[in-house]
Amino acid sequence: MEAENHTDVSEFLLCGLSDDPDLQPLLFGLFLSMYLVTVLGNLLIILTVSSDAHLHTPMYFFLLNLSFVDICFTSSTIPKMLVNINTHSKDISYMGCLAQVYFFIMFGGLDNFLLTVMAYDWFMAICHPLHYTVIMNPLFCGLLVLMSWFIMFLVALVNVLLILRLTFSLETQIPHFFCELAQILQVACSDTLINNICLYLWAVLLGMFPVMGILYSYSKTVSSLMRMSSTSAKNKAFSTCGSHLCVVCLFYGTGLGVYLSSAVTPSSQSSAIASVMYSVVTPMLNPFIYSLRNQDVKGALGRLLRPAASCL
């Protein structure tokens, strides 16, 4: 029998990464710097791709969308964390927590889909070059992105609606620096069987199949690249392909590490710290990976910054 009414909960308490007051200024400065680098770096990629006609191709169209999604992905969690550190508070409203869950699922899933679509784009460009321009036309590329948005909109909405049926005790503490779905299910007072079934179902459908698609695409792509006769073309293709592979390894590697660590030590601080890698560090590093390893982007950045430098 319930000892109290759990339906009137209006807020949760985010435990954050550390309770040590001496570490709070360091955490604030570190995450503020990482957030600013993420936003500015991805905005620079968006501006570069948008302003340079040489980059108006499917690959860079997907890169532009990935940069925009990375900004939104990081913005769904870090600003609230910075506010809480600055105000020495752990509170987050019930609706604010649901909003974090919704946007984190949606933009995290979009990252997943866009990385998969970019792998498919490379597969078509290298393995089927004669059909590439016909298949990867602007309409089809736009439909792929719109379909990704629509699917993740529905997935995030379903998960949030399922949370609404749960009850929580007053002053429920979430052992994380943001409202992560798995952590919320662990602190719920009511039965979460349906929620957990949906969580694992989405994880399999939206995680396993995209990863299998990426692995298949790149196995075929690398095999085709090895048969290329032109050394310069092969090196350029490997450089661009390597940029995407680095981002894929960062995103999926750190994400997998989070869930493996949470399975071994559930609800621990180590899980919260590990999740920083794929939710904060990876979006921050993406612009550097694509700009430093990709000759086309480096050239476009040079053309973009040259007029600004000449004005100084």
> What number of other Cβ atoms are within 10 A of residue 264's Cβ?
10
Q: 């498919």: which residue's tokens?
A: 120
CA dist., res. 62 & res. 43, Å (int): 14
Spell out the residues 6+ positions from residue 137 whose beta carbon is closer than 8 angstroms to its own. none
Tokens of 61: 């169209």
Q: Which helix (H) or strand (E) element contains residue 174?
A: strand 173-174
CA dist., res. 78 & res. 63, Å (int): 22
CA dist., res. 57 & res. 36, Å (int): 28
**Cα dihedral value 86, 89, 93, 99, nearest 10:** 40
CA dist., res. 299 & res. 17, Å (int): 40
Is 37 exposed, middle or buried, given 0-12, 13-18 or 19+ CB atoms closer than 10 A?
Answer: middle
Helix and strand numbers (H, E) in the chain are 13, 3
CA dist., res. 95 & res. 257, Å (int): 29
Q: Which helix (H) or strand (E) element contains residue 299?
A: helix 295-310
Nearest C-alpha neighbor of 118 from the set 71, 44, 66, 46: 66
CA dist., res. 261 & res. 237, Å (int): 35
Nearest C-alpha neighbor of 266 from the set 206, 205, 196, 211: 196
pTM above 0.75, yes or no: yes
CA dist., res. 203 & res. 120, Å (int): 21
Show the domains of the chain with their CATH numbers: 11-310 (1.20.1070.10)
CA dihedral for 159, 165, 169, 170, sign (positive or negative): positive
> On the CB side of 209, how many CA atoms lie within 13 Å of its CA?
9
Q: What angle do CA 112, 114, 118 make, to 5 degrees?
A: 120
pLDDT tens per residue across all 312 residues of the chain? 344 444 456 788 888 887 888 888 999 999 999 999 999 999 999 998 888 888 888 988 998 999 999 999 999 999 999 999 998 888 999 999 999 999 999 999 999 899 899 889 988 988 888 889 899 999 999 999 999 999 999 999 999 999 998 988 887 888 888 998 888 988 888 888 999 898 888 888 887 888 888 888 888 888 887 777 667 666 666 666 777 777 777 777 776 666 655 555 554 566 677 778 778 888 888 888 777 666 677 677 777 776 655 555
